[in-house]
């Protein structure tokens, strides 16, 4: 696991949006961020985020991870 993957996840959790995190925090594009989050999910073996009807939702593991550290 690489530290950058965790940094990317933290940015998405704090901003509540892949696009906002990519553009405002990480200075990259949303399409390049999504595969990085998927790599983190593959490495930890659980789905952290899902997009339903255009809205970003944290799955159980994602919610637990983000609230454990005081993120959204």
- pLDDT tens digit sequence for 13-42: 888 888 999 999 999 998 999 899 999 999
Phi, psi (rounded to 5 degrees) for 19: -65, -45
Residue 35, judged by CB atoms within 10 A of its CB (0-12, 13-18, 19+), counts as exposed
- Residues 36-63 have pLDDT tens digits of 999 999 998 988 887 776 667 766 555 5
Q: Count how many Cα atoms sit within 13 Å of the Cα of residue 54 in the half-sphere of its side chain.
A: 0
pTM of the entire predicted model: 0.71
């Amino acid at each position: 696991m690489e530290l950058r993957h965790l940094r990317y996840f933290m940015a998405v959790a704090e901003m509540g949006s892949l696009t906002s995190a990519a553009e405002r925090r990480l200075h990259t594009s949303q399409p390049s961020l999504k595969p990085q989050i998927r790599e983190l999910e593959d490495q930890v073996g659980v789905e952290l985020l899902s997009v339903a009807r255009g809205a970003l939702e944290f799955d159980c593991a994602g919610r637990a991870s983000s609230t454990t550290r005081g993120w959204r």
